[in-house]
Structure 1
Amino acid sequence: MNDILPADTALWQYFERSVAQLLGSYGYQQIRLPIVESTELFKRTIGEVTDIVEKEMYTFDDRNGDSLTLRPEGTAGCVRAMLEHGLLGGGVSHKVWYNGPMFRHERPQKGRYRQFNQIGVETFNLSGPDIDAELILLSWRLWKLLGLQDVVSLQLNSLGSSADRARYREALVSYLRERYDQLDEDSQRRLETNPLRVLDSKNQTTQALLSDAPKLADYLNDEAREHFAGLCALLDAAGLPYEINPRLVRGLDYYGLTVFEWVTDQLGSQGTVCAGGRYDGLVEQLGGKPAPAVGFAMGIERLLLLIQTLDKVPAELARQVDVYLVTLGAGADKAGFRLAEQLRDALPGMRLVVHCGGGSFKSQFKKADKSGALFALILGEDEIAAQRVGIKPLRVEGEQENIAWQDVPARLKQLL
């Protein structure tokens, strides 16, 4: 688990602001969820034989003896909240999003921590491939907004219905059992508990064995085929390139029909930066009436690492201060605070620091320069007497100006 220091938070805020504005433009509303849920919720939704539940969850008993878990992902808690507050009745559609920390006891890697942050997007009571396409196109628009569209690619697959997967699972297990000794140790374990996850193995020998294995696409029913074809047609119409990856299965039991991942080759072996899919059975599984649902989640740390790796950090984020106010002399502190508040009223977007702690003009200017500010405002006894303010460029060409107090807001607006 890691700290996010002040020097890094501007990029976090830029990313979160960009996502919130984009989701708002598509009509999605934010939902805020607790980070602790009943352990049983995750066992029922994610699956008891998944790696997350078996090995990665932070689980503890509270003082009442109830088993609680720090959320390892957001979808289960979101569905629980929608059901608990009666938001899914009557077939009313909902489009929501959330962000915040998730917790998994994984091996820390570059851009992946045991406390990590996700933004999740979920939709309910919409069953067609059009909403699947909207979510994918929405994420594509975000990559373009962030300048990442050339380094991420979309992978798609369909997992069909639960009956389709059961028939396929039987054929896959039969095929792999005949080659059991050739499988890596992790795949041997998964063959007994969650055989579809063998398809996602990173072991090269196992991947070679899978080249001749039965294909899930051959086991899909007509409705699943039609849904997937409809999604592909919509993405084609929008001009979004994609790759159909028959081994893409995702690591959570609740997925069915559409699954997708956005991947990059810029971050090493852990290349997934955004993933999701359809989970039509999950609402009913948690005790609600059947309701179609689809969503995705993106890892903030990995996307920020990608932005930094590609040098796509907006230049303005490097500067945290626009103007630094230097004061010296009797009454200058009071006059400085009055000026500062007037400027904040007139220019609410300006980042203004008022020097605190006293010191000579020289020492104050050193701090002004170190702050990264573009301009220093100078308020000494002479300026107060004349009701004027000095404006000194620190990082742009130009000479110091001395202008009337009342003209300062307009002049700074021009300069900034």
Structure 2
Amino acid sequence: MADPFLINPFYVENAFLREEAFAPNIRYWQPALPNITGVVTLKFDVPFTIDSASFSGGITAYTVGSDANFDPNATIYLDVSTDNLNWTTIASQTNLNACCSGIAGPWDISSVVAGSNVVYVRSQMFMTTNYAGFGATQFMRQGAPYDPGFFTAASAPPQLISLIDLDFDAPVPSGVNDVNGLGTGFTHWLPGTGGLIPRDDPNLNLLTTPGYLAFTSTRSATSHTNGFGRNLAVLDVPGVLLNQMVGRDFKVTAKFDDVTLRDLSDELLIYVGTSSELILQAGFHDFSAIDPSGATAQYSILGNTGSGDFTFPGADSVRLFANGDEVILSLSRIDGLWSLEWENLTNPATSGAYSGISVPWLGAEPNLYVGLMHMDAQNFSPQTAKIDYFRMDVSPVPEPSSLALILLVSLATWRQGVRR
């Protein structure tokens, strides 16, 4: 039966795979003859263009110690190449830096191999001793308790591509019309909301402020704890439906001119969700009830998981915008983590972001509704927002083989001194 700890090199010259007599589960490559450099080269073919990569695998030069078999002249170098001709040394052990034990990485080799889809890793070993049971230089020492080596590579994160770009300069045929019957570009309302809102939405208007979408708030809320009820039938949440969203990065951006939230619990938000019971919402929130100054107050990220409201510790900042400000909001999910960014064009010093937020209840949802909502939950004074644009960028549908992990314990099939 083939030994699972043997590795499968691409090229071998003056080297052999040692099994230590006193520790039969230990394997490593060493020079076959002293005073001649031994070479072992590994080759990794990757099914994509590499953006980042790393390698781990022990290199050891026993140069000092009480054992008579240690060799003060022992040296070992670990090199990386993409063409098997031009090499970069990434690690070494010599009598200048080695003492009694080896090093194993992992080493980040991204700067050497980025842009390629093939990687060569070479060990050059030299020693002057010739002890029958021990090698003073060792490559890829394996066997309990030593870990096998690993090579990992990843492709570049896919670039986001524009999917939706609504500038509200002209009608766009769609499923959601404004009060005049003009298409807004939005195609859906969030399920569970807006049951009493006609298709020609009385809260949306493309004509009152040309070049903008005027969006009037309704006395409603997604929150379960607002003190008056949710009033979902008039909750106005126009948006679009996105499919095949599991594992995909995306970014929603909207520009708001003359932001106006004057009364308690006025909210102007970007949302992402599957229904009124499973939603993430982020944006402007008047929080004057708890702000002693009474100022319009806060950027917030809130969620609703169906069983109640969900908040994110630290994701609120008091007095970061004022009525009349011009602000660009962006809500994104990148590598599974969410961020809210705000760029205050009126007062740039107050721009900022919340980032690194986990929203596990949306991660596995394939279909997501994304759009805007405007509410005046705990007052009787509707506000009208001016939306300059609404944009959506997404990554392509993921393809397989964007990550390679190779465990260097395959079967040994090699011929000494011959390229395979």
Q: Normalized against structure 2, the TM-score is what?
A: 0.20
Task: Kindly indicate which of the two structures has a greater share of residues assigned to strand.
Answer: 2
TM-score normalized by the length of structure 1: 0.20
Name the structure with the higher helix share. Answer: 1
Higher relative contact order (CA 8 A, sep 6+): 2
